[in-house]
Structure 1
Amino acid sequence: MQTNGQDTENGKGMPDINADENMSGATNLNDALADESELDKKQHELNEMKDKYLRLVAEFDNFKKRTAKERIELMQTASRELMVSLLDVLDDTDRATKQIESAADINAVKDGVALVFNKLKSTLQAKGLKPMESLHTEFNPDLHEAITEIPAPTDDLKGKVIDDMQKGYYLNDKLIRFAKVIVGK
C-alpha cells in the first residue's frame, strides 16, 4: 500500500520514486534513463555512419587518384609494343641505306627497298592497321575528304573516287585517317 509516495509494505519508510507517475512535476526515472540510453545509442550510430562516410569519401578519392595515375602511365606506354616491333624495320632500313651507298646494281637496291617496305606494311597490318580501299567506290563524306572534283572520264565514274591523293587507314576497324581523294563529276 502507498501513502504520500512512501512504501509502507516494506516498512522502511523510503519514498518510492516510481510510485506516482501522475503527480505534478514527477517523472519516471526509468523513462528518462531509457530516453538517455536511446539518445546515446542514436549518437553512437550517427558517429559510426559519419566515420563510414568519411572513409568511403577518402577511399573514393584514393581510387580517383590511382586510376588517373594508371591512365597517364598507360598513355605514356601505349605505343611501346608498336615501337618495339618497328625497331626491326628500322634496323633493316639502316642496313639498306648502307647497301645503297656501295651498291652498283640498281635492281638489287630496288629489291632491298621493296623488302623493307613490305616488312613495314606487314608489321603494321599485324598490329591492326588496314588501308582503306577507296578507288572507284562511291564518294562517302564519312570516309573520304574530297580535295577536288574533275570531270569523270566515263559516266560510270560520276560521283565516285577517281584517284587517292592520300590513303585512308583503319586501326582495328576504326577509322583513324580519312582518305584524301579526287571525285568525278
Structure 2
Amino acid sequence: MKKEEKKLKDKEKKEKHSKKEKKAEETELKLKEELDNLNKENSELKDKLLRKAAEFENYKRRTDNEQSNLLKYTGEHIITNLLPVIDDFERSLKHINDAQDIDALKKGLKLVYDKLMKTLNDQGIKKIEAVGKPFDVEYHEAIMQRKEEGVEPHTVLDEIETGYIYKDRVIRHTKVIVSEEIVEEKVENNSDNEIKNEGKEN
C-alpha cells in the first residue's frame, strides 16, 4: 500500500515537474519570439532612420545648392533686362562716325538713355532727386559749399555725381554742392567806422 502511494506521489511530482518544464519552455519560446519581433522592429526603425537621415542630407545639399545659385546669379534678371539697352548703344556707336545730323544723334542717345533709366526704374533702381532740396545726410554727400543769394542755407545747389536708391536702400549717395549761410559783415563795418572816427578825433 505504501509502495503504491509512493509511486503515486512520484508520478504526481514527475507530472508537476513536466508541467513546469513545459511551461518554462513555452515562456522561453514566447520570450524568444517577442525578442525576435523586437529585433526585427528595431532593425526596421534603424533602416527608416538611416533613410530619413539620407533624405535630409540630400534635401540639405539641394537647398544649399539652390541658395548658392540664388546668391551667385541674383543679378541675372537685371542684367538680362539691360542687354537690349547695350544693344542700342552698340548700334549707335557703330554709326556715330557716319552721322550727318547731330540733332538726330543727340535724340537717339537720349532715347537710349531714357530706355536705360526706365529699365533700371522697373527693377527698383531710382535716381535721388537732389537739386533744390534741403541737404539730407541720408541721401546726400556734401563735396563743397557755395554762397548763393536768395537761397536758404543748406540747400542743394548742384549735383556732382548722381545718387541712386535700390528698392528702399541707398546704394550711392548723391555728391552735391550745398548753399552756405551768408553772414552779413555789419559788425566788421561798424568796427572800421569806429577806428576811423577815433583817428579823426585824435
Both proteins in one fold, TM over 0.5: yes
Rounded Cα–Cα distance in structure 2 between residues aligned with 1:184 and 1:151: 5
The answer on whether the counterparts of 1:129 and 1:169 sit within 8 Å (CA) in structure 2 is: yes
1:43–1:109 Cα change, 3 Å? same
1:16 corresponds to 2:13: no
* CA distance 1:29–1:137, shift in 2 (3 Å): farther
Question: Given the alignment, which residue of 58, 83, 86 partners 2:79?
Answer: 83
Q: In the alignment, which residue of structure 2 is the partner of 1:150? A: 145
Question: What is the CA–CA distance in structure 2 between the aligned matches of 1:184 and 1:28, rounded to whole Å?
Answer: 105
Q: Does 1:139 align with 2:142?
A: no
1:62 pairs with 26, 47, 58, which one? 58
Contact 1:5/1:15 (8 A) holds in 2: yes
Aligned length: 168
Pick the structure with greater CA Rg. Answer: 2
* % identical aligned pairs: 29
Greater CA deviation, 175-184 or 43-52? 175-184
Q: Distance in 1 between matches of 2:28 and 2:156?
A: 91
CA displacement at 1:156 relative to structure 2: 4.0
The residue number in structure 2 matching 1:23 is none
Pair 28,121 (structure 1): closer, same or farther in 2 beyond 3 Å: same
Shift of the alpha carbon at 1:176?
A: 5.4
Whole-angstrom CA distance in 2 between matches of 1:35 and 1:174: 70
Q: CA RMSD, aligned part only?
A: 3.4
Matched residue SS, 2:175: strand
Q: Which AA in structure 1 matches 2:136?
A: F
- Which residue of structure 1 lines up, in the alignment, with residue 28 of structure 2? 32
* TM-aligned CA deviation for residue 163 of structure 1: 4.5
Residue deviations 1:143-168 (CA, integer Å, cap 9, x gap): 4363546367578443x655444333
The more displaced of 101-110 and 115-124 is 101-110
Distance 1:5 1:49, change over 3 A: same
Q: Secondary structure in 1 aligned to 2:165? A: strand
Instruction: Kindly provide the CA deviation profile for residues 114-162 of structure 1, in whole angstroms up to 9, marking residues without a partner as x.
Output: 111111111222233222334424524xx4363546367578443x655
Give ranges in structure 1 of 5+ residues lacking alignment. 8-13, 20-26
Aligned counterparts of 1:174 and 1:149: Cα–Cα separation in 2: 27
* Runs (5+) with no aligned partner, structure 2: 1-8, 181-202
Residues 138, 161 of structure 1: 8 Å contact kept: yes
Distance 1:117 1:44, change over 3 A: same
- The TM-score, its normalising length taken from structure 2, stands at 0.64
